[in-house]
Amino acid sequence: MALLPILRFPDLRLKKIAAPVLRIDDTIRKLAADMGETMYEASGIGLAATQVDVHRRLVVIDASEERNQLRVFVNPRLTHCEGLQSGEEGCLSVPGIYDKVERAERVTVDYLDLNGQPQSLVAEGLLAVCIQHEIDHLDGKVFVDHLSRLKQSRIKAKLAKQARVTA
């Protein structure tokens, strides 16, 4: 397995819409494993292929407290959303930035597993938020896109300053 570089906002590659995975093979399985390792190493709970500059509809998530329940979603699609919750979100592509985002409280997601078998999952709470957040990435959105333009420009300025300081 290998650690993958994570794109950082406002990199325009984060705006690309991911294409469906047409065939689940060893390449996709290796990508999922590498994404899982990358996510764990970065202390994240979710990672979309878009964030590692692979524009395919593939997401890994582990919202468990023990960090030992990696879930892989191939071609995830929300089929039902209900309720509303608001909570602070962060993102591996927007390091050190957190803000409140409104999301559905409960979602149903249809997807393929790594064996190509259709699955459906009903999720709520943190897992529901994470699924919505990662599917946003596949659709070319970052969580800051849900914020006001003023907040977006402040975040861009803060990240640019961080990049200058670490360069």
DSSP string, 20-60: PP----HHHHHHHHHHHHHHHHTT-SEEEGGGGT--BSEEE
Q: Which residues are bridge partners to 100 per DSSP?
A: 88
124 in active site: no
Residue 166: how many other CB atoms lie within 10 Å: 6
Planar angle of CA 136, 104, 9, nearest 5 degrees: 30
Nearest in space to 78 (alpha carbons), one of 132, 11, 155: 132
SS3 of residue 65 by DSSP:
coil
Catalytic pick among 37, 65, 102, 134: 134
What dihedral do alpha carbons 120, 73, 156, 105 form, nearest 10°?
20
Catalytic residues: 134
